[in-house]
Amino acid sequence: MKKYNFHLLGLAHLPVSEKYGSCAFTQKIVKMSKMLLSLGHTVYLYGAEGSDAPCTEFIQTHTLKDIRDSWGNGDNRFDIGYDWKNSEFRHDFNKEKTQTTHKYYSKAIQEINKRKKDDHYLMITQGSYQKPIAKAVSLYLTIEPGIGYRGSYCKFRAFESSYLQNFTYGSENPRKCINGRYYDRVIPNYYDSKDFPKNKIAQIKDNYFLYIGRQISRKGIDTAIKTCDAIDTKLKIAGQGKYHTKSKNVEFVGYADPKKRFDLMTHAKAVFVPTLYLESFGGVAVETMLCGTPVISTNFGVFPETVTKDTGIRCNTLADFVQATKDVEFFEALEIRETAEKYLIKNVKFQFQQWFNDLYNLFESTKDKNMKGWHRL
């Protein structure tokens, strides 16, 4: 298996650590570093003080004090200066960039330029937000390996779903008949088996349903509440914040770390993922499947790709959601888990390796006119 060198960008607003389990960006970077190491690659990770993801070399770009200065409110119980377990994470994605972000950009550029070689990969993890780094470093093999967001831009992109790939192409070329791109890929999000122990999956479920995630209307939390009110059954709600509701069926259980999340998911009769916007990947659905529990979702965005007859039920109306709460009784926990194992790191990593190999062939063809790229057999 070919081995490569990767410069992996962390975040400006958070350390790259499993500690911040409710930040999808952070966890993807942690798992990407693990995945690359498991394939034998060299990983240079750039990020904030407090980052503890496994890597070949960690390069600190800014401090926890920098994060507190830009986003904290003086809460000394938390390294980043605010109670992130009961509120959403703070950042400047769609705002004027803070001094901390500019420091992150500058230091990352400086340190990557010290270490880079022409055939190294630069991994962009937040799209256009990190474009200033990519532009200054200027590596041919600059890639976006986990696009589950708007604002991707790289020449080489891996999307988390076919839906998002085609949505992106259409958004970039409205009302045009366009061609696809051979060197883009669809590679799903990926999960660490240690967070989903197969031998602890509950095959007999408890008498509650679960909603876990951001407690905002567009995530479909109202749909979950209305459904459980219609059948007068308990709905546990986990995640940052506390949604306002008068429902007597709702029990708020707070922030869920990986162990608590697994316990909640595997013992639930089903987990609601009824997102109203077009979900790019909907990681909660796949995490639910890895816990051996069926998913009840909406019927658009990514869900026609991930929520199948073997793993859950997709719904359109309240009547559909109510019927789904009855039909989930017919699913088998271990069958759901086995279907979902394709999303584990140990399986997804080979899709990435093939992509890296294809891109490297293309890179070689740019350096030597006698080397074939796309035409290599």
Question: Which residue type is seen at 186?
Answer: V
Which domains does the chain possess?
5-190+345-367 (3.40.50.2000), 193-341 (3.40.50.2000)
Question: Which residue type is seen at 228?
Answer: C
Please work out, in degrees rounded to the nearest 5, the angle formed at the alpha carbon of residue 346 by the alpha carbons of 157 and 11: 50
From 296, 355, 360, select the one nearest 322 (Cα to Cα). Answer: 296
The helix (H) or strand (E) run that includes residue 8 is strand 5-9
Residue partners of 58: CB distance under 8 A and separation at least 6: 45, 47, 51
Taking only the tens of pLDDT, the chain with its 377 residues reads 899 999 999 999 999 999 998 899 999 999 999 999 999 999 999 999 999 999 999 999 999 999 999 999 999 999 999 999 888 899 999 899 999 999 999 999 999 999 999 999 999 999 999 999 999 999 999 999 999 999 999 999 999 999 999 999 999 999 999 999 999 999 999 999 999 999 999 999 999 999 999 999 999 999 999 999 999 999 999 988 789 999 999 999 999 999 999 999 999 999 999 999 999 999 999 999 999 999 999 999 999 999 999 999 999 999 999 999 999 999 999 999 999 999 999 999 999 999 999 999 999 999 998 999 999 99
Q: Give the pairing type, strands 57-62 and 209-212.
A: unpaired
Question: Which residue type is seen at 132?
Answer: P
Read off the pTM: 0.95
Q: What is the DSSP string of 41-97?
A: -EEEEEEETT-----SEEEEEE-HHHHHHHH--S-TTSTTSS-GGGS-----TTSPP
Residues 238 and 211: beta-carbon distance below 8 Å: yes
From 362, 307, 371, select the one nearest 156 (Cα to Cα). Answer: 362
From 218, 348, 351, select the one nearest 286 (Cα to Cα). Answer: 348
* β-bridge mates for residue 273, sequence order: 297
Strands in 116-233 per DSSP E: 121-123, 141-147, 156-159, 185-186, 209-212
